[in-house]
């Protein structure tokens, strides 16, 4: 544990600290929280009033400008300690969203728990993982899911560097699935991201089916994947509305 640099000043000058101490001395706040009114022989109404008083005594301290703060407006503008949207992505910040992303992306990537050579001879395992894969490597589904989760976080972070518009979680999962498939470089240069950043989220969703080619040819599997991503994208916008 490391104390903040100005802990002495905070402890000695904070109104909230002094009011909390006062509540302990005058009303025994923590003591009241541990007992029942019958144990003290108090009327339940008076007991409730005393307990409530102990809890709210520190509230006025939160509403008064304390020493060293120039103005309340300056306090509100200061976001130095805030967790920004780009620091923790929508998928990264939610276990439910991550589980949904793993299930959605995983079904298109396909799961192989034993290492195998792909069509160009690269050793591959799990959901298309190639980094450090050796012949004979074997993983459980849980381990493969963990690998995919790390990749999803990486692709979400890469997409967030160019996707500046806030989008619903379901749309984000669809766009990360698309980015995972086409690459962050292509995604960030796309009309889809430009539309999204301009606020045309519906138009961005409708760009997904255009990404269904490989080697200049339409690939049925890619068409199916883009259709599912667009459907998830539109459903997210509908639910958000």
- Residue ranges covered by each domain of the chain: 11-70, 95-240
Average of pLDDT values for 96-108?
95
pLDDT at 71 over 60: no
Mean pLDDT of the chain: 81
- The whole-number average pLDDT for the span 44-65 is 59
Torsions phi, psi of 187, nearest 5? Answer: -60, -45
Residue range 156-200, pLDDT digits in tens = 999 999 999 999 999 999 999 999 999 999 999 999 999 999 999
pLDDT score for 1: 44
Q: Give pLDDT, residue 94.
A: 86
Give me the pLDDT at residue 137, please: 96
- What pLDDT is attached to residue 22? 67
At residue 47, the pLDDT reads 61
pLDDT of residue 85: 44
Q: Is the dihedral of CA 125, 131, 133, 137 positive or negative?
A: negative
Residue 43 has pLDDT above 80, yes or no: no
Phi and psi (nearest 5°) for 125? -155, 165
Average of pLDDT values for 107-135?
Answer: 93
- Other Cβ atoms less than 10 A from the Cβ of 167: the count is 20
Q: pLDDT by residue (tens digit) across 17-41?
A: 666 666 655 555 445 555 555 655 6
pLDDT of residue 4 exceeding 60, the answer is no
- For residue 144, pLDDT over 90 is answered with yes
- The pLDDT tens digits for 195-222 are 999 999 999 999 999 999 988 899 999 9
DSSP-derived letter for residue 209 is G
* Buried/exposed code over 195-204 (b: 16+ C-beta within 10 A; e: otherwise): bbeeeebeeb
Query: Which of 74-78, 86-90, 137-141 shows the lowest mean pLDDT across its residues?
Result: 74-78
Which of the two residues, 187 and 10, has the higher pLDDT score?
Answer: 187
Indicate whether 16 pLDDT > 80. no
Q: How far apart are CA 75 and CA 119, in angstroms?
A: 58
- Catalytic center residues: 109, 118
Cβ count within 10 A of residue 157:
16
Architecture of domain 95-240: Orthogonal Bundle (1.10)
Share of the chain above pLDDT 70, in %: 63
């Amino acid at each position: 544990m490391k104390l903040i640099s100005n802990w002495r000043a905070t402890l000695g000058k904070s109104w909230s600290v002094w009011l909390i101490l006062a509540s302990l001395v005058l009303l025994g706040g923590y003591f009241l929280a541990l007992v029942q009114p019958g144990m003290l022989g108090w009327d339940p109404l008076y007991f409730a009033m005393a307990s409530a008083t102990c809890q709210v005594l520190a509230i006025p301290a939160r509403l008064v400008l304390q020493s060293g703060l120039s103005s309340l407006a300056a306090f509100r503008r200061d976001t130095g300690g805030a967790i920004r949207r780009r620091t923790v992505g929508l998928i990264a910040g939610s276990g439910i969203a991550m589980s949904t992303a793993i299930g959605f992306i995983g079904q298109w990537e396909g799961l192989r728990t034993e290492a195998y050579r792909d069509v160009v001879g690269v050793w591959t395992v799990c959901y298309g993982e190639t980094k450090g894969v050796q012949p004979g490597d074997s993983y459980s589904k849980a381990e493969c899911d963990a690998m995919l989760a790390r990749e999803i976080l990486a692709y979400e972070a890469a997409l967030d560097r160019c996707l500046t518009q806030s989008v619903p979680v379901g749309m984000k999962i669809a766009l990360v699935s698309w980015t995972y498939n086409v690459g962050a470089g292509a995604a960030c240069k796309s009309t889809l991201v430009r539309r999204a950043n301009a606020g045309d989220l519906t138009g961005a969703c409708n760009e997904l089916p255009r990404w269904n080619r490989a080697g200049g040819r339409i690939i049925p599997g890619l068409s199916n994947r883009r259709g599912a991503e667009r459907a998830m994208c539109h459903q997210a916008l509908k639910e958000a509305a």
